[in-house]
Amino acid sequence: MLRVLKPLSGLSPKQQSIGQLQSRYRYRRHPKNDGGGGGVWKTEEKKDGYLLLHKSKGQHLLTNQRILDSIVRKSAIKPTDTVLEIGPGTGNLTLKLLEAAQRVVAVELDKRMVEVLQKRVAESGVQDRLTVICKDALKAEFPPFDLVVANIPYGISSPLVAKLVYGARPFRGATLLLQKEFARRLLAKPGDSEFNRLAVNVNLVADVEFFMDVSKREFVPSPKVDSSVVIIRPKAEIPNVDLNEWWAFTKACFCKKNKTLGATFKQKKKVMELLGMSKLAGSNGDSKDYISSTDNDDDEGESDEEEFSPSPCSEMGASSFKEKLMGVLKSADFEDKRPSKLSNEELLHLLALFNQAGIYFHDQSKSRNAENESLTVAYS
Ligand SMILES: C[S@@+](CC[C@H](N)C(=O)[O-])C[C@H]1O[C@@H](n2cnc3c(N)ncnc32)[C@H](O)[C@@H]1O
């Protein structure tokens, strides 16, 4: 299905408010509709040209003015606020944000989108209040902002949410349009089937509120999935825990989220890897011993059900280390518990117990924002 974004003839831009400006654009099916194959969509941003919309970049434009208005209203933007928008696209939301905020910082990967956005905003005469950063939002350094309001490309949801809530910039809230299933995972509570490490990590530092569901029919072109709007509000106070260590610890616990912690930490492969890193760091004269864990997240990836059975060369170290791990789990009845049913308070308690036993978890890559981070754990 190909659609066209076509500017309608009408009032001169100078006579128009931003709201009127938006109504100059309408969407219709492209006459050369080819059924939507090939992952590329066409839209027209001016009478003599076409803009290909790429599914791979999540280019699904939200066109329902009522929904755009609700999102802006719900975001409680103050006239003095700077709003960060990730993926402004052709500016449907940006123009509404500029009506409410002092300044909008829009981070957009696609230069063609930036051109359309800047043209539309210039027509409204408020271009001096828009800053465009034409970069990948995962790599861009964000300037200070008060709020985030965005219909984001769903492909970067997880690292982007991590970048925001674990990032250095303080902000009041993030109103995000997300894939419905992803939003449900963010909202999940311990024991819910959707509950996973993402919810655990986000909930440590932020509260997540559901706002509304948005049908796929409200986008041009329609994606395959429905969406939901959630508001993420950073907590005023967060537990006194090393966030890098917390990130690595939850990764280790949730590598098989429905397995008991005893089974997870008993796996031969895991114990041996942990121990291997320990010896590596020890040879460098490090005061702590470092150990690594397999990077299997949330029941995906390879499984290693095999119970620990030490090889001759590392028998002593591996055995005592496994005993240490199991001792911690048993000391507070965590051995038979599943991470997917534990509250953050319980997980924090378990981490404190590991630390007391001299076992520390480390994020080797130091990249909580990256999609493929790896882990190490330290113990002494
Ligand atoms: C879902 S569309 C939203 C467009 C617009 N906000 C709207 O609601 O109509 C996502 C936009 O994000 C842009 N985008 C995709 N990946 C990005 C990235 N890594 N960093 C910044 N922008 C990105 C796409 O080019 C696209 O314009």
Reported ipTM = 0.99
264 and 166 fall within a common domain: no
For the whole model, what pTM was predicted?
0.80
pLDDT mean over 188-194 = 94
254 and 337 fall within a common domain: yes
Which residues does residue 28 pair with via DSSP β-bridges, in sequence order?
4
Q: What domain range includes position 325?
A: 243-283+311-378
Q: Does 138 contact ligand 1 (Cβ within 6 A)?
A: yes
Nearest CA to ligand 1 atom 16: 57
212 and 273 fall within a common domain: no
For the chain, give the percent of residues with pLDDT over 90: 57
168 and 269 fall within a common domain: no
Give the model's pLDDT for residue 26: 47
Report d(CA 270, CA 357) in Å as an integer.
18
225 and 340 fall within a common domain: no
Q: Residue 213's pLDDT band (boundaries 50, 70, 90)?
A: very high
What average pLDDT does the structure give for the chain? 78
212 and 342 fall within a common domain: no
Nearest CA to ligand 1 atom 17: 109
Q: Does 350 contact ligand 1 (Cβ within 6 A)?
A: no
193 and 61 fall within a common domain: yes
CB burial readout 98-115, b (16+ within 10 A) else e:
bebbebbbbbbbbebbbe
Q: Which two tokens stand for residue 34?
A: 């080819």
Ligand 1 atom with least separation from CA of 219: 9
222 and 110 fall within a common domain: yes
106 and 201 fall within a common domain: yes
Q: What pLDDT digit, counting tens, does each position of 317-339 carry?
A: 777 888 888 999 999 999 999 99
How many CA atoms, within 13 angstroms, populate the side-chain half-sphere of residue 260?
11
Residue 92 lies in a domain: yes
What is the β-pairing status of strands 130-133 and 103-107?
Answer: parallel
Report d(CA 212, CA 180) in Å as an integer.
10
Tally the domains of the chain: 2
* Binding-site residue ranges for S-adenosyl-L-methionine: 60, 62, 87, 108, 136, 151
Give the model's pLDDT for residue 121: 96
57 CA from centroid of ligand 1 (Å): 7
Residue 249 lies in a domain: yes
- List, edge to edge, every strand of the sheet that includes 130-133: 130-133, 103-107, 82-86, 147-151, 173-179, 227-234, 206-214
Q: Which of 55-69, 90-104, 277-291, 340-354 has the lowest mean pLDDT?
A: 277-291
The domain that holds 129 is classified in CATH as 3.40.50.150
Give the model's pLDDT for residue 380: 33
326 and 372 fall within a common domain: yes
What number of other Cβ atoms are within 10 A of residue 212's Cβ?
Answer: 13
258 and 111 fall within a common domain: no
3-state secondary structure 140-173: CCCCCCCEEEEECCHHHHHHHHHHHHCCCCCCCE
217 and 271 fall within a common domain: no
From 217, 234, 251, the end of a domain falls on 234
Contact 175, 74 (CB under 8 A): yes
52 CA from centroid of ligand 1 (Å): 13
Residue 364 lies in a domain: yes
From 195, 211, 234, the end of a domain falls on 234
